[in-house]
Amino acid sequence: MKECYTCKKKKESSKFYKDKNICRSCTSEYQKRYREKNKEKYKEYMKNYKQTPRQKEFMKNYYQENKDKLREYKVQWRKDNPEKVKIYKQRAYEKQKEKEFKSILGYD
């Protein structure tokens, strides 16, 4: 049994990260508050992180190993969120039309 430095509750050692005196639930809560407080910084970090070769390779492998699962999830999401799908399709349509218009005028 260890005592959490933050919440002062005694918990099993498995509820703590290795060599830490703060329990997993307190750590999770702290991270959540930090991300909310630093939204722009976190957004920029994630944008850069997704561009690393290691992450790209991981996502490529994950997709290959879980194609069916991901496809089922997407189909279900589309069924559950038809209004969002409609908005996304409308935005994509408008973006494509804008691209075509710019190419006609020679702005590309």
- What range defines the domain where residue 56 resides? 2-65
For residues 30 and 48, state if they share a domain.
yes
Both tokens of 99, joined, read: 């691209």
For residues 86 and 49, state if they share a domain.
no
Look up the pTM and report it: 0.53
- Contact between 9 and 23 under an 8 Å Cβ cutoff? The reply is yes
Residue 105 is predicted with a pLDDT of 81
Based on the structure, what is the number of domains in the chain? Answer: 2
- Examine the pLDDT at 108 and tell me if it is beyond 70: no
Whole-number Å distance between alpha carbons of 24 and 27: 5
For residues 90 and 53, state if they share a domain.
no
**42: exposed, middle or buried (C-beta count within 10 Å: 0-12, 13-18, 19+)?**
middle
53-106 confidence digits (pLDDT tens): 999 999 999 999 999 999 999 999 999 999 999 999 999 999 999 988 888 887
Q: What is the DSSP letter of 21?
A: S
For residues 71 and 58, state if they share a domain.
no
For residues 57 and 72, state if they share a domain.
no
For residues 28 and 44, state if they share a domain.
yes
For residues 61 and 8, state if they share a domain.
yes
For residues 56 and 72, state if they share a domain.
no
For residues 41 and 88, state if they share a domain.
no
- Contact between 1 and 14 under an 8 Å Cβ cutoff? The reply is no
